[in-house]
Each structure stands twice: as C-alpha cells, then as structure tokens.
A = this chain, B = another copy of it.
Amino acid sequence: MKTPIALLGSALLMTAAAAAPLEGKLSSADIIAATTADDWRALDPENTLYIELEQGRVVVALSPSLAQNHVANFKKLARAKFYDGLSFYRVIDGFVAQGGDLLEIRAKDIAPLAAEFDTAAPEGFAFHRLKDKDGYARQSGFVDSLPAGYDPKTKRAWHIHCTGAVAAARGDEPDTASTEFYVSLQPTRYLDRNMSVFGRVVFGMELVQALRRVAPAESPDGDLGDKIVSVRVAADVPEAERTNLEILRSDRPAFEAYAEARRNRPEAFFVYRPDYIDLCQLSVPVRPVSAE
C-alpha cells in the first residue's frame, strides 16, 4: 500500500531534504510524529464507502454529522448494488467527476431527497474553527476532520467543496437529488450551500483525477466514461479486504498545532510566511491503521 500521509495535498519541499525549522518551532512533520493514538480516529466502516474502479479503490469518508439523509440514501443504494457496472460519465477537468446512472434506467424509480445544503448543528456538534477569514462562510473549519462552514447566527453547518468533496448532483430544483453524485476535482466553493455534500475522498484521489475526461453521452451507445465496478459500504466488505485508514482528529489540540505549522511554515526553505491558511489547502493527514 502506498503511504497515504498528506494524501489530500502534500507539503513536501521541492527538494528531498527537509530544512531544519527556524526559531525552535515545530514543523508539521514534527507535530505528526509527536501525535499519540488518541489524536487519530479510525474511519468507521459503517460510514465509509469504497468506490471500486478497474484502476483501483477510492475510499470515501461519509459525514457522520451532516447531510445524514444523503448518507443513508447513498449507503442504501450501495447495499442494493445500484452503482455496480455504471460509470463516471461526466468528467470535466478542473471541475467535477460525476458518476451514476446517466441513462436513468435504474434511477427512474428512486425517490428524490429533500436538500441538505446545510443542516441545523446537531447535539454535541464539534466544530474546529480556523481563525483564518473565509470568503464563502462566516466561519470555516472542520467537523469530523471534514472541511465545513458554520453560521453562528442561524446555527447551521455544511460541508464545503474542497477537492475530493463528494456530493449529490441534482436538477434545477433543490429537492431533486437521488442517485447521481460527483467528486470535486478542484475547490468549487461556489457550490457550497447549493448542493448536499455528504463525504470526502480520503484515499485514491489520484485515480479520480485521472478518470477519462468525458461529456455525458447523448445516446445509449455513446461514450459512458470509465466504469464503476462497484460501490460498497466498508462494513460489508470482508475485514481482510478493507483499506483500514485513520484520520487526524479535528477535535484535538494536535490538529490546531498542525494547522498553525501550515499557516506559518517554520521550515527554513520558506522566505515568506503568509500567516494564513486557506481551508481547502489545509491537507488533513490520513494514514494506514498501524499494525500495533
């Protein structure tokens, strides 16, 4: 297995050798090295999807807190093997990879869902707010290690469209999503609060980035794009075949230390430090569950 640390955007220097940090400050690598087991959370198999492509596996962390109805819907569809043999039929560079049932043969009997563009913050809502200003949200940060926005006036929260966001496609009207989904290939923040985001790719994003670019076919014998072999809930996959990952918890002090080391990178390589981190450019560390 490839080492998936910093999978969602690496911080490697241009050179292989990392320069020593300045001023005795800790680099992000130092902070990650000093984390304890409690700073990490294993992905819950019941809230993890595997999108199996011919090219390999893509792992999606579902949101356990927000967009619950969409999470339930997509798990139910996965368990019904709805997506097996379908495809990523709309893959636009710099935008999204959209998959599902282009021809609406299987989808025609699936009831549409009410929109969950944002959600009343649930009981025990743990929002790790970043201090950095965000142009799209009153407050921005992380919920369950997934990037999120929050409005303290309305007390509503939503997952945002960073690269890897997984959301429900829809028609012109809000309450029309049912089976089709997309993965953002780049930050697409203008879709925030306009679409129901229900998870994020945390492993295998390079496979999504390399999906064949294709526009939706206009006829059944047109190019339907790269195939989806299957979509499965991880809990339904035999343990020996799972991709067991853990993600840095956003509700622990190590996460904020990590964010600060990204906001102002102490490595001597850097001559300019912006004292700022864009939410979508803060990669969330993901790693294999250790064998200990």
Q: A interface vs B, CB < 8 Å?
A: 7-17, 19, 92-95, 98, 117, 132-133, 135-136, 163, 169-172, 174, 180, 182, 185-190, 192-195, 205-206, 209-210, 213, 216, 262, 265, 268-272, 274, 276-278, 280-281, 283
Contact = CB atoms under 8 A, between A and B. Distances in A.
A265 B192 CA distance: 13
Contact of A14 (B7, B14, B182, B272): B182
Contact of A8 (B94, B172, B194): B94
B281 A188 contact: yes
A94 B171 contact: no
B95 A12 contact: yes
Given A92-B12, A278-B187, A283-B94, A271 B174 contact: yes
Given A14-B98, A265-B190, A281-B190, A136 B276 contact: yes
B14 A94 contact: no
Given A9-B188, A93-B209, A136-B274, 18 more contacts: A7-B94, A9-B95, A10-B94, A11-B95, A11-B190, A15-B170, A93-B206, A94-B205, A94-B283, A132-B135, A174-B271, A186-B281, A187-B278, A189-B274, A189-B278, A190-B270, A194-B272, A209-B209
B15 A281 contact: no
A209 B10 CA distance: 15
A94 B274 contact: no
9 contacts: A8-B94, A17-B172, A135-B278, A136-B278, A187-B281, A188-B281, A189-B281, A190-B274, A194-B271
A126 B60 CA distance: 44
Contacts of A180: 14
A278 to B, nearest CB: 6
Given A133-B133, A135-B132, A271 B93 contact: no
Nearest to A9: B94
Given A93-B205, A190-B262, A276 B135 contact: yes
Contacts of A171: 14-15
A278 B136 CA distance: 9
Nearest to A270: B194
Contacts of A95: 9-12
A118 to B, nearest CB: 8
A205 B186 CA distance: 12
